[in-house]
Amino acid sequence: MDLIIATIRESGAEAVLISLVGQDAVTFNRAFGHAGLHDGMVRLSCAIEENGLLACGANNLKRLFAVFSYFGTLSTPAW
């Protein structure tokens, strides 16, 4: 993931669309978080699920937005 993270850092992007799934998504989000890229970019993942989010670690999920139909069925408090 080093080359991918370096390329994203140098790109000047404000956002990253993540289409990785499973362990690849976890590895990417961990590397993204460790690199501190979440300070200047947001991420949108259309495929990461609950277990993947847990595996990434809370410190690596800053400014990550996850869109997954499963989340809409969860019974959670209204905000």
pLDDT tens digits for range 23-47 = 999 999 999 999 999 999 999 998 8
Q: What digits encode the pLDDT tens for the residues 2-12?
A: 999 999 999 99
What is the domain extent for residue 27? 2-73
In a domain, 49, yes or no: yes
In a domain, 78, yes or no: no
Q: Name the DSSP letter for residue 73.
A: G
Amino acid at 14: E
Which tokens in the block code for residue 46?
A: 């259309």
In a domain, 60, yes or no: yes
In a domain, 35, yes or no: yes
Number of domains forming the structure of the chain: 1
Q: In what order do the strands lie in the sheet with 42-45?
A: 15-18, 42-45, 64-66
Tell if the pTM clears 0.75, that is, is over it. yes
In a domain, 79, yes or no: no
Q: Is the pLDDT of residue 57 over 70?
A: yes
In a domain, 39, yes or no: yes
In a domain, 38, yes or no: yes
